[in-house]
Every structure is written in structure tokens, then in C-alpha cells.
A and B are shown apart, each in its own frame.
Chain A
Amino acid sequence: MKARQNGRGSNDAPHGRESDSLSGRLLAKLMPLNPRASGTEGGMTVVSARSSEWVRPVTQQDPASAIIEIDRVSQVFKTSARKNHVALSDISLTIEEGAFVSILGPSGCGKSTLLYIVGGFVSPTSGAAKMKGQAITGPGPDRGPVFQEFALFPWKTVLGNVMYGPRQQGIRGTEAEAQSRALIEMVGLKGYENFYPKELSGGMKQRVALARTLAYHPEVLLMDEPFGALDAHTRTRLQNDLLNIWERDRKTVLFVTHSVDEAVFLSDKVVMMSKSPGRIRQVIDIDLPRPRRRNELLLDPRYQKYVVDIERMFDESDEAGAPA
């Protein structure tokens, strides 16, 4: 976060980069805060590294090291009736840098709350969350949330919303606009740049919210059911786009969803939560090859087994977990 601010002035000309090449990935790992959009490749915006003056010492950052550590976090809310309501109980979870982790669980089990704690928007009743070894004390541009409620700025157009983050980071207007337009096109909203949020459908708002967060290149994406309001087709497209972005930039993603398919398709790790009080039931490593292609994966028996197993586990917990 500090590093990015230091990098402000470097308005160097972006140079294209082969996003799939090994060197490209390495570069992305070295400069997780990097990117600037330029050009297009296979419908996707190619992002080039900002040749910033600062480069983190490589030694300090083991590529497979934990980026987020959640340590025995509990969250107790006081309800309006002055009762204690346990939303999260004793959650411990480590997320490795560059990992795609999904949180799966029934409605009301505390998924959003957990995301807010990592985002620094809510401080836990007990326990602590850390980002890169530093205790999380508040929000910062290193962790970009996409909220379930979209939370778009209603007084800004689609373009204004998406440009807001980059402008705040000190990126020049013309450049921020070009980047933002590319992102808007990516989420399939070309032609809607000058619409106000009230003029968009729910699914369109959700896509703007996604583009707005991607626009300021957070290291960690905190996504709260970002595809919940989308039709199957758009959903699939955005899942693929998200995977492409993630495979290219190796952002860390914490992804809340209700959909077992979606969780298995996207993730390295699926965290299953159970309700009342919110706990982690099980963490499942998804050992499927990448890059993942949807049409191949749907036929893959390993994928099918993951989905069936996880669904069965939820069914069991439904039977066992009726509140006593």
C-alpha cells in the first residue's frame, strides 16, 4: 500500500507482456502491485508491469508464504434486543500468497463477516487477522472488496465509478480512463460508460462493482458473492475472466459463494463453513490442473467427485445441524 503510493510518479509508457509466459508470471509475483492496462489479447486486457523504482527484496517474500493469517477469530454481535449473537466462532485460516480460496456455507454462517474482518472494516471481538505478518487494523488499497450489496457511488457514472480508485491512486486522468474503459469492456458493459447506477440492472451493477475494484489492482481480492445476481452465461464468462486475471497477476482471492460448482471450478482451496455459530467445518484442497477450461473440467471425473462430495457433506450437516 505504501509501496504503491511511492510508485505514483512513474508514468512510464507501458510495454506489453506475454501474460502466460513464465517470465511474465515471475514478474507478476515480484510486482504484485503493478499493473497497467494496454492492448488486448484473446479478448482480455493485457496488463503490463509498471517499471517502478521500488522492487521488493526477493528474499523477504517467499512466493508460497502466507499472505493472510486468521488466528482464532471470533465475532460476537450485540443484537438490538441486547442479546449476544455469535457470528463467527474461533476461526483460524491461513491463505497463501497467490491462492484462490473460496468460502462456502449456508446463508448467515458469517461468510461476509469474515471477509469484513480481513478487509479491516470490522475488528473481531477476539483473535486477530494479519496481512503479510502485520496485524490488520483498517482498510487499505492492498485489499479490494467487492460487496454483496455492490455499494456503487450513485452520483458517478459507470466510468466514474471504475475510475475512482485509479484516480485516487494518483494515476493521470487519461490513463485511468483508458484502463477503466478496457475493464468495463471486459465485464461486458461497453456502451454503458455514461449510465448512472440507478439505470443499471442488478447484474450490471455487480459487474461494475467488480470492475471498480479490479481497477485499482489490490493484491488481495475479497469477493462477496460477486456473481450471485448474474445469469448462467454471464456468470461463466466472468468466472473465466476472473480466472484469467488471477492466473496472469496471481492475485490472492478470497471468494465467497453459495455455489459448489463455482467454488470447485475456481479454487485451490474450498473452506466449508457451518452455521450457528459460524465455524470452519472443513478445508478441502482442490487438486485440479490449471489453467482450467470449463468444458474440459465438467467432464473430468475428479471435478465431479469434488462437487458431489462437497454437496453430500452439506446435506449431512443439514441433517445433523438442525439447531437443538
Chain B
Amino acid sequence: MSAAGMTKRAAPVLACIGLLVVWQVASLALKNDSFPTAIGAMRAIPDILGDRESLINILASLRRMAMGFGAAVLVSIPLGLLMGRSAAIAAFFNPLLMVIYPVPKAALMPIIMLWLGVGDITKTLVIFLGVSLPVIYHSFEGAKAVEEKMLWSGAAMGLSPVQRLVRIVLPAALPEILTGCRTGLVLALITMITSEMIARQSGAGNILFNALDMGQYETVFAMIIIVGAMGICLDAIFEKVRARLVRWSEPQFDMPLSFS
């Protein structure tokens, strides 16, 4: 491997180590009870992951997240694509989405809790809402940008409107759609934790905020590390899949900006 390649590989690891060092030094300097050292927090991680109860909680969180994310993607991509290709559908949904967009989805939770209780459905629904909007938006933009002549070519080959949507608009917009999904994935994680903060009952967020209430700060920070690591892993896996799916669209020439 070339030297440049090595640095590229090592860079994220170095960044993590650097962050932990700064944390360690800062907490030693501040000597504050609610700010444990990095080493202390790391020590608490095996305790959490070794605990059956905690594992069940974390898995329950992940399950809700997967369901909310999956459902959102399944609904949002077709909707976004239809909006991108039909002015009438776009005109109908755009105002609705504009209303929902700026509202923090967690702020809707109390109402949803009133209707649906504090269980899985409510939390999954909130995740669903959080993921939907970026995915709809990016699918919409991607579908709008599909070159008209490509659709014409498909029509000339005898593709019906539905076939054109599935077999031309979808693949052509895929790079854009996947960008939306990537944002959606991170938002799913965020809304997952927030929803568990509001409706405490189970989940990773529940462990975190209970520990906070009880003043177990090392557990709190350990949970933050765990959630952060989950985010990084999910994002990395997703990025791998994405790069594989849209290899055909990646830019060919990597033009360096030459900062160095």
C-alpha cells in the first residue's frame, strides 16, 4: 500500500485516539464529578455490553430503528419519485411536507404517545417520520433531474409509465436517493435516542438517561461512546453498500484541490 493510502486508512483511527486523549486530559484538568475520564468511561463499556438486561435494551432500540428506517425508505422512495415525475403529485404533497419539515419529530411524540401509547409503535413512528423527509426530498430531486431523453428512449422500447418509473427513474436517481438514505440513517439513530428519552421504558436511550438520573456518569459517557460507535458502524456499512450500488456514477477523475 502506498504512503498516501496508509494515511487515508489510518486517519480515522488517529482522529479517534486524538479525541480520547483530549478528553482524558480535559477531564483530569477539570476534576469534575460529572465529567469522567476517557479511560473510566471506556472501562464501563464492557460492563454494559456484558449485562443481559442492557443488551436486550440495545437490541430493542436497534429493532425499532431498523423497522422505522425500513418502512420510511419503502414509503418515501416511491413517493419522492412520483413527486419528481408528476407536477400534480408534487403540488399536492409539497405543502404538506413543508409543514412537517421544520417540526422536530420528537416534539410530536407527546401527542403520538397520547394516541398510541408509549410502546414500540410510537417510537417506531417517530423514527419513521424523522427518516422520511430527507429520503423523500432526495428522491424527489433525483427523479426531477432524470434526463428526459432517457425516458423517451425507454418509452420507445415499449416501457409503460410504471416500468419507466421503476426501471429508468429509480436507477437513474439512485445516487441521489442513497444520499438521502444516508442522511436518514443518521437521523434514525438520533430520533431513536430522543424517542427513548421522552418515552422511557426500554432501549439504549433509556439506559443512558436512567444512568444520568442516578449520577452514574461513567455509564452515561460509555453509552454515548456505544451509540456513537453504532452510528459510525452503520454509516460505514451503508457507505460500502452505496458505493457498490452506484459504482457506475462515481466521478472518474479525482481532481485534487492541492491544499498541500
**Residues of chain A whose beta carbon lies under 8 Å from any beta carbon of chain B:** 1, 5, 116, 119, 121, 138-141, 143-145, 147, 149, 151-156, 164-165, 168-169, 196-199, 212-213, 216, 218
**Known pairs A198-B248, A198-B249, A199-B252; A151 contacts B153 (CB<8 A):** yes
A sample of 8 more A-B contacts (CB under 8 A), given A168-B159, A196-B247, A197-B248, is A119-B152, A141-B158, A145-B152, A151-B147, A153-B150, A154-B248, A154-B249, A198-B248
Number of A-B contacts (CB under 8 A): 65
A116 to B171, CA, bound (A): 24
- Contact yes or no, B156 A196, CB < 8 A: no
Within residues 171 to 195 of chain B, which ones have a CB less than 8 A from any CB in chain A? 171-172, 174
22 contacts between A and B (CB under 8 A): A5-B158, A116-B152, A139-B156, A140-B158, A143-B156, A144-B156, A145-B152, A145-B153, A147-B149, A147-B153, A149-B147, A152-B150, A154-B172, A154-B249, A155-B172, A155-B246, A156-B248, A164-B157, A169-B157, A169-B158, A197-B248, A198-B252
The 5 closest A-B pairs by CB, nearest first: A151-B149, A139-B155, A155-B171, A141-B158, A196-B248
- Could you tell me the distance between the alpha carbons of A140 and B147 in the complex, rounded to whole angstroms? 19
* Contact with B156, one of A141, A153, A154, A199 (Cβ below 8 angstroms): A141
Q: Which residues of B contact A116 (CB under 8 A)?
A: 152
Of B147, B153, B155, the most chain A CB neighbours within 10 A belong to B153
Interface residues on B, range: 10 to 19
With a CB–CB cut-off of 8 A, which chain A residues contact B172? 153-155
For window 223-260 of chain B, which residues contact chain A by CB distance below 8 Å? 246-249, 252
B168 interfacial by beta-carbon distance below 8 Å: yes
Q: For residue A168, which residue of chain B has the nearest CB?
A: B157
Contact A149 B156 (CB under 8 A): no
Contacts A196-B248, A199-B252 known; A121 to B174 CB distance under 8 Å? no
Beta-carbon nearest neighbor of A212 in chain B: B153
